[in-house]
Structure 1
């Protein structure tokens, strides 16, 4: 069963149920400012088409009991792929981006054709249990509106039409986007950002990433994926990054930079898990070395909060544990660069696993699947689509309510 509502208003109702269901008809009508008769007509169409269903749950209220509408999450499945330097990671999710299977990582040598072949084999493996409706691919790099990778230095790729190549070979709708954009959109649709019109995310790992939802939409343009926040100045006396900037985010917050600092200070070649484990055990040397990075992270959070006024800020990525083990220093850095009259900055931590990145990629596929009506764009993140709370335009509501 596909997802093809007959018009935009019907699509808006379907999306509201997908993102916030189960919802009773009265609540749906209130949220979308629709007359009860109009919503009855639309919901009947959606039930007939199999997009939504009546649940077994009954909502008791002042009036007659009502049976909520919901999607059937297990009716559709999606392949979410994270393309890393030497490996391809993948998961299978349902329609609400809940992971139902984690596939084994596959090694690649960097050839685009090889990567597409690997994704094809992952799709075939997934379909032994779950037919795949669409594919999403997340890449660390610059990805254009058609899902083509214009620049991915870690792969040595330039102008590779990855979404088109994959869609042609797999014969499945395919979306490709920058991995941070995918991560933010997953938070927006099915994570802590659901129902919020303004929030930001900072990711820590090999690099430092920044993304945000502003007025209900992901903020993205041709520079998304360049990693510009990585060179935001944080400490004029800090170490140099690979570009020669002193004390920038890349030099202070990335896993490789912190590991180099540990090697210089201790003479030990520690991996990230060892650093975090020793910090949690209270190792004085490691804790002192992480203080500077924790304070720098707090300063970066303050800058994001001061400039964009988000409802909250999510910290994620493979280096997210820094925000936990150096929390006191993070808060000190935040307070130093935040006006005491300003509201408290709410900070959420997201898992820094490959599974979480793949889940973000799967949301690209979900968005491609449910927003395909009237939208041929391979990259749904840049499309003009309803926000998380998709209220129809007044003229559309008026016309529908009079019908």
Structure 2
């Protein structure tokens, strides 16, 4: 059962290699008068950036050269290192599932912290071990062992993921399970002489693998929701006072179970369950899908500062089409008309954060007929985004996989309705 997941950084969570090379070249040119090729610089990799500069720059210029490197690294980070929304969603998904998360990297502390801040990852990890904080870098086990000690984690319940043989070697030497990953678009086909415990070519494949404790937790979470539905339906139809007491107790038990499986508060969940009456059925979430010149309309949610398709819970007395039009007007300022059904998905079948009820998500195509972009009581911004320029998504409303599906469906001549 996996409770702790440690990640390599470069090649696993992000690709800063082009930026590192770009920053090293002018440093060596300025302070040593040498024009190093990309291959020359890559051959130096192993120690941290600070150590590489110290080993290759004269004594008088070392600190100035290090500062010059980090100035370039900071200033040009956004141009060289794009944010990978699917990676960020994966990390939040694991974090929300109760996992301990850590980073084991050869990068120096200064560059690691800069990258984590630039990529919106700085508040996710429970421990980060940088290359200049250990005596023996990967493939030696020191960095992995240091993270385990800090977390109080056991080797039997820890998984270390990386994209190189050094990562796999360090994990094996520390006695933890390892996984060789190749899910980033920039993956160059690195191999490992040490056989990893697992191999993953995609984030989805990783998240749905049985080794992830969160998958087992979600199975229990699913059962808990079913028990809650049984208790709710039982309370709706039972007349016997003893049966009613049993169903109420069952409802309270499910609240306690959900608290143990998620970060939900037991008493808040219990009050939420008490507010649900009648036969238990899935809730319905309706999302409007509006394209304009190959770009998709998104709104920025005030509740979490992230972006989503306009939409929300279906209102009684309104059709799905009417809900999509209403929500779009309220959240974006645009007047629209619905033009067709795109898809129906089950919330629990996608990497959304845990939610205490079953939800069906309906995606409705809409066309703009008037209005102007406007903020609302729920949204702070409105914008159109291309497939490669998506902002950070509000994953309890929509995932990057669902957004990608919408772009793919738009370019599909058939445009058949997708559904779970």
Larger radius of gyration: 2
Structure with the greater relative contact order (CA < 8 A, sep ≥ 6): 1 or 2?
Answer: 1
What TM-score do you get using the length of structure 1 for normalisation? 0.30
What TM-score do you get using the length of structure 2 for normalisation? 0.29
